[in-house]
Every structure is written in structure tokens, then in C-alpha cells.
């Protein structure tokens, strides 16, 4: 028996109804903030992620699905989308368009990491990028948009975590201090931390190994090393968030797992996900375009939502969604089946969710309607057709009405 590849899964109804609701709500919120959809290829040149994401990140060194194409070029299934969006921004000269370019995306990403709760090797992200401004006001607006989306989805109990990771002017001094401290404690930390301490010390702060946390908590704070510009920027972001009534917690150890971030970084966490509780991560990446070879500066800020993890949080809070079926039609006889087909077409055109019984036995039809959770059962037989009236039974109350075709259509279309 052939099964799905390890770490990849099928999404099935009724769960897919919640996925569709999440995506529809995201599109609505993005629209009112003037974001527009971008769709980038699933495959990109490997160098895009090696240069943009960072050669010493776990994504590049351990997790990417990379293969050699027939012409000898190296291709990679995208592990994230921000680098792809900036590549498209540069390639299509979107900097020539007026104003900040506000773009959003939805789709699958691929990382060969160890499957665990809420983490899969094919996973889905919903994200947005605002490119073309260094303003801290934009940072606050992006975080506000995230909060508005989660509130619209009725997700409760989430928490916004905030930090600044400085910039190329002030970060080197902090990294030098951090590296000196890591020389004392890294030998007793996990294998990844020992490697990162030498190659990319900032990445140690992103370690999730519980045993390493006491040592990490004692490391220097980047907030004590911010330069004047980064400090002013971070203060402004916090002020704008407070003005908008958005609660947050400053976490000095919060760094994103990718090399391109600078200044504002943020996460949204939710308790339903356990220890690995991040449902969203984002931040500012003012130098990413230059890292990808652009001669044009493209400061920006964005985020990506782990849609798998968001849906899991919503299922925990709201329960598994139920499939909605407005009407189940029991057609008794061939003449009734022909009439039922025409009536079903007209009702579906009005947006009524409808299912026709596969056979003409009333008892079996009623049993199936019950199992499907139909709100109403419409019974059509020769007598009903001859009289021009149809029996509509409400499955919740047991009430049964006799309606003309016009009355039936009006009732079901307005219920």
C-alpha cells in the first residue's frame, strides 16, 4: 500500500472547511490594508536561499530539498517565501511603482525537518511583505494587521512577542561580546549551539533545547547594545503599538531563524501548541535586496503564519468544523428524480448547499440525511409533483411544511 511521504499529509474535509475560512478571512483583512496577492514559483535557484536565508542557518545546512536539474543547475523547493518575494520585487522592478509595495502570499513550503506536533515537511504559510519604507509606523501597522486577523478568526489567548536585533552598524559589537561569553558556556550546550557559537553566535539565542535555556538566559542582551538609530526606531514601534491598544511583551532573546532580519522582530505564540508554540514570525529585513545582488535599496517588513499551526490552534479553541448541508433531496421514482434535478439546479444557483439521494427508498434516504447532518429533507414523489407541492422536513425540529415550488425556493434561499 502506498502512503503519503513521511512528514507530508492529506488535508481532508471537514478540516478543509476551516482552512478555507482562515484563507478567506486573511484575504479580507489583507484587502482592507491594501495588500495584493503575489504567487511565486515553488522551485527557485538554490543560491537564492543560500544568499538570502543564510548559509549557516539550519534551513540551508540541514533542511532544504535540493536537487540537480538536467542542465546541472541546482534547484530547491522553497523553504520560505520572503526571499522569493524580494527576488520577484527586484526582477520585475516593482520599486518603480508608486508607494509602498504591499504583497501577500499563500501556499506550500518544504523543509526536511523532524516531524512533530504542528510541524510538517510540506507545510503551508500565509504571509505578507510591505516593501519600500523604513518607517517604524509601518512595523506597527503590520503587527496590527496580524492582531486584527487573529481577532477576526476568534483566536483567543495569543501573545505578541517583540524585540529588536539591531542593524549592521550596532550588531557587530554585540556579536563580539556574545561570542566572548559563548566561549565560556558553549562547550556544555547542545551540538547545534557549539557549532553556532563559532559560525553564527546570534543563532544560539534561537535554540529551543530546554537544557540550554539557563545558559542562554545569562547571555548579554542585544537591547543593551542598540545604536541610537535602532533604539529610536524600536521605541517608536512600541509607542505606536501602545497607542493602538496592542499588548506585547519584549523578549530580548527573540531572534528570527533567518539571516536577513534586522531591527524589529516579532512572534505570535499560542498555548495550544505546547512547547513549540509559535504560530507566526516576522520582522524587518532592510538589507535583504542588497544581499540578493540588487543595486536598489528595498527596506521592508513582513511575516509568515504557519497555517498548519494556526488551524491546529483554532481546532483546539473552536472544535472540529462540521460540514454544512442545507437540503437533502429524497426523490421517489424516475419522474420525481427528473424534477428533483431541475429543482436542485435552481436552488444551487441561489447558493443553497444541496445533495440528492442516490436511490429512491425513503427510509434509507432519511437515514443518510441524518448521518450527513442535513438541516432539511425535501421529499419528492409522484403525489407531490401532481399536486405541485413539496414536503420539506426540518431535521432539527421535526416540523414538516407543504410548499409550492416558488414558496420552497423563497424559503430555502432566505434561510
Mean pLDDT per block of 10 residues along the chain (415 residues) reads 90 91 96 97 90 58 83 92 92 91 96 76 95 94 95 90 90 84 79 80 79 82 89 96 95 75 90 68 88 84 93 82 86 82 90 85 87 90 82 89 87 83
Please give the pLDDT value at position 276.
56
As a whole number of angstroms, the distance between CA 190 and CA 175 comes to 19
Per-domain residue ranges of the chain = 15-170+226-318, 325-414
Task: Please tell me the distance from the alpha carbon of residue 69 to that of residue 302, in angstroms, as a whole number.
Answer: 31
Residue 273's pLDDT is what? 54
- Dihedral sign for Cα atoms in the order 313, 314, 318, 323: negative
- Which pLDDT does position 277 carry in this prediction? 74
What pLDDT is recorded for position 62? 66
**Does CATH number 3.30.930.10 belong to domain 15-170+226-318?**
yes
| pLDDT at residue 24, rounded to an integer | 96
Query: Which pLDDT score is estimated for 52?
Result: 58
Q: Which three cell numbers stand for residue 220?
A: 548579554
> Cβ(206)–Cβ(255) under 8 Å?
yes
Residues 6+ apart with CB under 8 A from 216: 204, 205, 207, 253
Strand partners, 36: 103
pLDDT of residue 247: 94
Please state which architecture CATH assigns to domain 325-414: 3-Layer(aba) Sandwich (3.40)
Give me the pLDDT at residue 60, please: 59
Residue for cell digits 490552534?
313
* HEC sequence for the chain: CCCCCCCCCCCCCCHHHHHHHHHHHHHHHHHHCCCEECCCCCEEEHHHHHHHCCCCCHHHHHHCCEEECCCCCEEEECCCCHHHHHHHHHHCCHHHCCCCEEEEEEEEEECCCCCECCECCEEEEEEEEEECCCCHHHHHHHHHHHHHHHHHCCCCCEEEEEEECCCCCCHHHHHHHHHHHHHHHHHHCCHHHHHHHHHCHHHHHHCCCHHHHHHHHCCCCHHHCCCHHHHHHHHHHHHHHHHCCCCCEECCCCCCCCCCCEEEEEEEEEHHHCCCCEEEEEEECCCHHHHCCCCCCCCEEEEEEEHHHHHHHHHHHHCCCCCCEEEEEEECCHHHHHHHHHHHHHHHHCCCCEEECCCCCHHHHHHHHHHHCEEEEEEECHHHHHHCEEEEEECCCCCEEEEEHHHHHHHHHHC
* CB atoms inside a 10 Å sphere around CB 232: 12
What is the torsion angle, in degrees rounded to the nearest 10, for the CA atoms of residue 21, residue 26, residue 32 and residue 33?
170
Q: What is the structure's pLDDT at 259?
A: 64
Amino acid at each position: 500500500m502506498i502512503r503519503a511521504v513521511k512528514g507530508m499529509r492529506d488535508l481532508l474535509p471537514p478540516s478543509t472547511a476551516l482552512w478555507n475560512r482562515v484563507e478567506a478571512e486573511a484575504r479580507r483583512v489583507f484587502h482592507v490594508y491594501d495588500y495584493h496577492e503575489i504567487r511565486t514559483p515553488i522551485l527557485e535557484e538554490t543560491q537564492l536561499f543560500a544568499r538570502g536565508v543564510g548559509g549557516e542557518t539550519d534551513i540551508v545546512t540541514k533542511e532544504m530539498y535540493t536537487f540537480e536539474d538536467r542542465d546541472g543547475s541546482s534547484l530547491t523547493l522553497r523553504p520560505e517565501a520572503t526571499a522569493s518575494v524580494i527576488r520577484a520585487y527586484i526582477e520585475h522592478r516593482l520599486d518603480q511603482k508608486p508607494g509602498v509595495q504591499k504583497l501577500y502570499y499563500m501556499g506550500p513550503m518544504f523543509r526536511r525537518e523532524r516531524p512533530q506536533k504542528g510541524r510538517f515537511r510540506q507545510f503551508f504559510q500565509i504571509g505578507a511583505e510591505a516593501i519600500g519604507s523604513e518607517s517604524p509606523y509601518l512595523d506597527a501597522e503590520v503587527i496590527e494587521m496580524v492582531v486584527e486577523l487573529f481577532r477576526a478568526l476568534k483566536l483567543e489567548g495569543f501573545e505578541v512577542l517583540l524585540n529588536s536585533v539591531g542593524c549592521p552598524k550596532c550588531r557587530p559589537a554585540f556579536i563580539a561580546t556574545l561570542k566572548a561569553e559563548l566561549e565560556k558556556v558553549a562547550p556544555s550546550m547542545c551540538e547545534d549551539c557549539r557549532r553556532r557559537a563559532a559560525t553564527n553566535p546570534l543563532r544560539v539565542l534561537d535554540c529551543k533545547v530546554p537544557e540550554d535555556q539557563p545558559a542562554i538566559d545569562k547571555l548579554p542582551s542585544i537591547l543593551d547594545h542598540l545604536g541610537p538609530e535602532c533604539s529610536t526606531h524600536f521605541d517608536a514601534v512600541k509607542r505606536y503599538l501602545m497607542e493602538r491598544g496592542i499588548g506585547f511583551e519584549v523578549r530580548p532573546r527573540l531572534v528570527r531563524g533567518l539571516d536577513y532580519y534586522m531591527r524589529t522582530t516579532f512572534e505570535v505564540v499560542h498555548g495550544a501548541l505546547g512547547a513549540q508554540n509559535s504560530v507566526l514570525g516576522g520582522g524587518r529585513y532592510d538589507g535583504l535586496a542588497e544581499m540578493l545582488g540588487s543595486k536598489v535599496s528595498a527596506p521592508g517588513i513582513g511575516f509568515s503564519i504557519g497555517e498548519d499551526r494556526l488551524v491546529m490552534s483554532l481546532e483546539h479553541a473552536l472544535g472540529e468544523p462540521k460540514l454544512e448541508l442545507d437540503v437533502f433531496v429524497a426523490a421517489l421514482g424516475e419522474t420525481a428524480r427528473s424534477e428533483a434535478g431541475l429543482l436542485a439546479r435552481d436552488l444551487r444557483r441561489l447558493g443553497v448547499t444541496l445533495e440528492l439521494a442516490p436511490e429512491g427508498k425513503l427510509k434509507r434516504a432519511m437515514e443518510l440525511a441524518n448521518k450527513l447532518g442535513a438541516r432539511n429533507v425535501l421529499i419528492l414523489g409522484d403525489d407531490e409533483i401532481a399536486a405541485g407541492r413539496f414536503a420539506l422536513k426540518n431535521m432539527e425540529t421535526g416540523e414538516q411544511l407543504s410548499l409550492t415550488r416558488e414558496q420552497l425556493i423563497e424559503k430555502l434561499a432566505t434561510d
